[in-house]
């Protein structure tokens, strides 16, 4: 008599990994790949050899502004055909590029400068391709946010990239006010036309004493980092209008964590001395000696309370 044993049922996890293998197989053998290629943010030598090779080998390059990118590609010896992909045609262009990738072509996406999708077009395209299981490969390189952070001397263990602030002053202040207690380093992109307004709004939202760094024209001839309090950086640019040009990244130190109850217990004493107009350093010395608390924590709290007066 034949014994019918129950057949092993496929496990959900096994099914999933099988599907993954099939997808990878389809990606590799039939459809093309889109490479997201970072280009320099100023200094042409910052392009990687892998980026150049990729740009030479693909069937086409989708560029934010084909005229702008033509000079870069000429300088790199890349003659691959280009097509435009910008904010106004991305939806329509993404469908076209999907068709070409499905047909087996390989393509690259570049933007005017730095890493595509970082305040540049490409999100809609990459999302569509991922949904359609088309392979998307990053070719990393320069991006202003990371370039600025690595040389600023502000904490980089946790940071928040905020892109451009709104152009309208009320909205700009709303955005900044919502960030005033954020303890992460805050990173903003800014244009020379708005940098003074943004710094003034930062002083209003974060207080004059918050530490910050402005990184201007990075990797270019007139690269400049200016660091100090928000007040000092704003004053610097007010006094040097010739430096209010080029491209800016503004980085602001995060708020001091509000979890310092030992210091807040000293608020009454600190306020008393602030009202008597004692210098911040002297108040810090007295309170830290009196309480045994670390000077840095006391100093930050004195600055916070001074702002409230």
Cβ 188 to ligand SAM, closest distance in Å? Answer: 8
DSSP state of 114: B
Q: With binding defined as CB under 6 A, does residue 173 bind ligand SAM?
A: no
Please say whether the beta carbons of 268 and 232 come within 8 A: no
**Can you list the positions of beta strands (E) in the chain?**
33-37, 60-63, 82-84, 107-110, 135-139, 159-164, 185-190, 211-216, 224-229, 248-252
Q: With binding defined as CB under 6 A, does residue 189 bind ligand SAM?
A: yes
Cβ 235 to ligand SAM, closest distance in Å? Answer: 21
Cβ 301 to ligand SAM, closest distance in Å? Answer: 33
Please say whether the beta carbons of 303 and 229 come within 8 A: no
Q: Which of residues 238-297 bind ligand SAM (CB under 6 A)?
A: 247-249
Tokens 């003034």 map to which residue? 200
Which CB atom, from 54 or from 266, has the smaller least distance to ligand SAM?
54
Per CB under 6 A, the list member of 62, 110, 120, 230 interacting with ligand SAM is 120
Which of the ranges 13-21, 137-145, 233-241, 277-285 carries the binding residues for ligand SAM, by CB under 6 A?
A: 137-145
The residue among 223, 145, 218 whose CA lies nearest residue 185 is 145
DSSP 259-271: --HHHHTTHHHHH
Q: With binding defined as CB under 6 A, does residue 58 bind ligand SAM?
A: no
For residue 122, give both structure tokens. 């490409």
Which CB atom, from 101 or from 247, has the smaller least distance to ligand SAM?
247
Cβ 50 to ligand SAM, closest distance in Å? Answer: 17
Per CB under 6 A, the list member of 32, 107, 114, 207 interacting with ligand SAM is 114
- Rounded CA gap, 304 and 107, in Å? 52
Which of the ranges 17-25, 73-81, 108-116, 299-307 carries the binding residues for ligand SAM, by CB under 6 A?
A: 108-116
Q: Which residues pair with 137 in a beta bridge?
A: 35
Residue ranges that bind ligand SAM, judged by CB under 6 A: 41-42, 111, 113-115, 118-120, 143-145, 189-191, 215-220, 247-249
């Amino acid at each position: 008599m034949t014994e019918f044993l129950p057949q092993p049922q496929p496990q959900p996890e096994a099914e999933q990994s099988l599907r993954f293998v099939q997808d990878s197989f389809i990606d590799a053998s039939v459809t093309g790949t889109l490479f997201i290629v970072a280009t320099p943010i100023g200094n042409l030598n910052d392009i990687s050899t892998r980026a150049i090779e990729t740009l030479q080998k693909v069937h086409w390059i989708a560029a934010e502004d084909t005229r702008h990118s033509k000079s870069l590609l000429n300088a790199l010896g890349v003659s691959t055909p280009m097509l435009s992909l910008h904010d106004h045609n991305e939806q329509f262009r993404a469908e076209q590029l999907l068709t070409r990738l499905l047909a087996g072509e390989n393509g690259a996406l570049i933007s005017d400068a730095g890493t595509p999708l970082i305040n540049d077009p490409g999100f809609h395209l990459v999302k569509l391709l991922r949904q359609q299981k088309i392979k998307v490969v990053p070719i990393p390189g320069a991006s202003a946010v990371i370039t600025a952070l690595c040389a600023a001397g502000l904490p980089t263990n946790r940071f928040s990239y905020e892109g451009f602030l709104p152009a309208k002053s009320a909205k700009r202040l709303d955005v900044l006010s919502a960030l005033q207690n954020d303890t992460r380093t805050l990173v903003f992109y800014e244009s020379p036309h708005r940098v003074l307004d943004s710094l003034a709004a930062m002083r209003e939202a974060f207080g004059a004493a918050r530490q910050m760094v402005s990184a201007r024209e990075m990797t270019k001839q007139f690269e400049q980092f200016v660091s100090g309090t928000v007040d000092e950086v704003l004053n610097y640019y007010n006094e040097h209008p010739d430096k209010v040009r080029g491209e800016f990244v503004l980085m602001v130190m995060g708020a001091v964590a509000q979890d310092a109850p030992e210091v807040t217990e000293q608020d009454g004493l600190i306020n008393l001395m602030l009202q008597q107009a004692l210098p911040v350093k002297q108040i810090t010395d007295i309170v830290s000696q009196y309480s045994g608390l670390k000077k840095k924590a006391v100093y930050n709290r004195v600055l916070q309370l001074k702002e409230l007066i």
